[in-house]
Structure 1
Amino acid sequence: MSAHKILVIDDSKVIRMRVRDMLPQGNFEVLEARDGLEGFNMIRNERPNLIMLDFLLPKMSGWEVYQEVQKEYDLKCIPLVLMSGRKEEVLEKLSEPFEYFAFVEKPFEQKDLVAAIKEAMLKAKKHPKPAGVMSTEPGYQTTSPGDGSAMAAELAALKRQVAQMSGEIETLKKQLGQLVTFIKSKL
């Protein structure tokens, strides 16, 4: 099983299979959801590394899934590719430019999918940190002056998170390189 998960939320089995077939084998675990409610539950439980979300879905629309994801910082930072055959319906809810996610219009080719994934990965990094996320900048105080042990523990925890995320980013870069190489070999 791969450490990196791509969640494809689409009510069309053809689209889900098409996305699966366009990705290189062995590099990703592709999870599938047939409706918005199932997809949102999988986002919460599986914490995928990439979400591919159809805008028009049964049970819970892609718009509703998007709105729920935006409520939690750790969910909204997951790279998101919004998919739709009707861009005008997407634009009714969200105006361009799409600042934090990528959009790909159906039907799409492999090169369109890869470009959207790259774009989503870059845009996901733009999310502003919420007020509760503290800075580790020198001179920035997160606790009271007399609470040095709590601050040291907090700082150590943040450093561990940064180290873990740095490793994950390097792995994602490597896998993206493999994806590009794979796609170039197929063209």
Structure 2
Amino acid sequence: MHKILIVEDTLPIREEIFDILTMEGYAVFQAENGEIGFKMALKEKPDLIISDILMPEMNGFEMFEKLNKNKKTKSIPLIFLSAKGEKRDIRIGMNLGAEDYLRKPVNIDDLVSVIKNKIQ
């Protein structure tokens, strides 16, 4: 069973993605900010991380940079899911090495399709 970590500070969004991915057969873990997400990635070693960008404690870009500097987590693919949709933000995310960058509100079928494409 593939493991996915959702790093999202907005509880309703996090829970909706959790429920859908659980129904799709994934083992899903949740974190409400980048600091907790980083620690959880070290502990759970997910197959994929879905992360918001604008979060308290540590934002998604900072978390991804930290993940990329750690031997245990640098190979974990990450998809940014954010309301920040300007070209500059997308470019920053992709330049950091993100697998994809999806804008909120996201079509759930599109999200599931991207996930399946990245980890199967």
TM-score (norm 2): 0.83
Alignment of 1:96-175 (within 5 A): 100-119=98-117, 121=118, 173=120
Q: Matches of 1:70 and 1:103 in 2, distance apart? A: 17
Q: Matches of 1:55 and 1:38 in 2, distance apart? A: 14
1:17-69 residue CA offsets vs partner (Å, 9 max, x unmatched): 12123225272211110111111100111101110111111001111001111
Q: Which has the larger strand fraction?
A: 2
CA contact (8 A) 1:6 1:51 kept: yes
From 20, 28, 31, the counterpart of 1:30? 28
Correspondence 1:10 to 2:23: no
User: Residue in 1 aligned with 2:52?
Assistant: 54
Gaps of 5+ in 1: 122-171, 174-187
Q: Matches of 1:31 and 1:69 in 2, distance apart? A: 16
User: Residue in 2 aligned with 1:90?
Assistant: 89
CA RMSD of aligned residues (A): 2.4
Residue 77 of structure 1 aligns to which amino acid in structure 2?
A: S
Cα 1:100/1:8, change in 2 over 3 Å: closer
Q: Describe the SS at the equivalent of 2:80.
A: strand
Residue 40 of structure 2 aligns to which amino acid in structure 1?
A: M
Q: Matches of 1:96 and 1:39 in 2, distance apart? A: 19
Gaps of 5+ in 2: none
By relative contact order (CA 8 Å, sep 6+), the higher-ranking structure is 2
Q: Matches of 1:78 and 1:104 in 2, distance apart? A: 17
Q: Describe the SS at the equivalent of 1:75.
A: coil
Q: Describe the SS at the equivalent of 1:27.
A: coil
Alignment of 1:53-72 (within 5 A): 53-72=51-70
Same amino acid, percent of matched pairs:
33
Which protein has the larger Cα radius of gyration, Structure 1 or Structure 2?
Answer: 1
Q: Matches of 1:19 and 1:118 in 2, distance apart? A: 14
Q: Describe the SS at the equivalent of 1:48.
A: coil
CA contact (8 A) 1:55 1:90 kept: no
Cα 1:95/1:8, change in 2 over 3 Å: closer
Number of matched pairs: 119
